[in-house]
Amino acid sequence: MAHLLPPLAALGRCHEPGSGLLFGFILLLLAVFTSCTFGAELNSTCREEFAVRLQDGGPGASHLEGRVELCVDGSGWGPVCDDMWSDEDATVVCRQLGISVPGAVAVKNGQFGSGEGDYVLDDVRCAGTEERLIECDAKMTHNCITGEEAGVICPENKTVCTNGDVYLTGGSSPSEGTVQLCYNNQWGTVCDDHWDNSDATVVCRQLGYSSGISRSFAYFGEGTGDILLDDLDCTGSEATLLECAASDTPPDCVHTEDAGVTCLIEPTATATEPSSTPSEMATEHHSTSSDGLSPGAVAAIAVLGSLLLIAAVLATIAIVVIAILIKEGKINYSRNF
């Protein structure tokens, strides 16, 4: 780049007819490059210092779950490392987002993807009573790598419910868990007698997924509340479990028989048991690219590559234009300046 400095410096004192045009052209190129570069940066900027947001949550639940990101210096968002990440930390995040009911769940191991930016906090230790995450004990430096991003699942206000509503508890990701059902304006569980994939699919479709795998014997742990339904017989096309055929007699089950589901993004050709464990399916649900990179990382690399390509093209154009004008004598190029 050193050999470009004399021609560029000569522009400031040359008086040839083409010099003004060249100088304007170079300024235009710089303006385009600056606009592209800083325009990309603005997409990741934030305004409120130490605000939090949730990214890449499951279908229909982006306001309740996702990767925790923190606003730093008003310049951009960054993730939080999951070292020592706990439900108390998740409670504070949910409270900062305006969700103060109990039941926040901490999610670890980058289950909501990697996102962009460097880690902002590490070794977070909240008491659970803080109003904002930045008020908790934490380190501003980290020793974390991709795949250690902290996430949360915030609870809905379930003191009042709508008949037929469902949510999942106890799973390692938002796409799996013990089924909690609202029936007669109270939350409870479903007995696993005759529980099959058609029943699970009704639950999963209601939550925004395409199909489901049934889980029995409190596979994800025991739920809460009364056991509300027994001997369900869904076809898989119903809008809610309450539309399915079920026993008319009170359930004769205990919570060790609570029904659960593992929801799938893509429909399956046959209803078979998945070859992956629940934790593996959670990783697949928040998918990565074929080379192991998360969608956020792939996007960041693509943006960086585009900016580098633009810079190279603009630099090449500037060099060619300057060389042509020097050759034609439109720039008085001298080494003695």
The string of pLDDT tens digits covering residues 262-312 is: 999 764 333 333 333 333 333 333 333 333 444 444 445 656 776 787 888
Percentage above 70 pLDDT, the chain: 69
> What band does 205 get if pLDDT is binned at 50, 70 and 90?
very high
* Alpha helix positions (H), the chain: 5-10, 17-42, 87-96, 197-206, 278-285, 295-327
Read off the pLDDT of residues 19-39 as tens digits, 9 standing for 90 and up: 455 555 555 555 444 444 433
Specify the pLDDT at position 329. 72
> What band does 158 get if pLDDT is binned at 50, 70 and 90?
low
pLDDT at 133 exceeding the cut of 70: yes
Q: How far apart are CA 63 and CA 20, in angstroms?
A: 54
Average pLDDT for 221-245: 92
Q: 326 or 4: whose pLDDT is higher?
A: 326
Contact indicator for 44, 71 with CB cutoff of 8 Å: no
Specify the pLDDT at position 321. 81
pTM equals: 0.40
* Plot region of 142 (φ>0 → left; ψ -120 to 50 → alpha; else → beta): beta
pLDDT at 224 exceeding the cut of 50: yes
Read off the pLDDT of residues 315-325 as tens digits, 9 standing for 90 and up: 888 888 887 87
Average pLDDT for 56-82: 82
Q: How far apart are CA 236 and CA 220, in angstroms?
A: 22
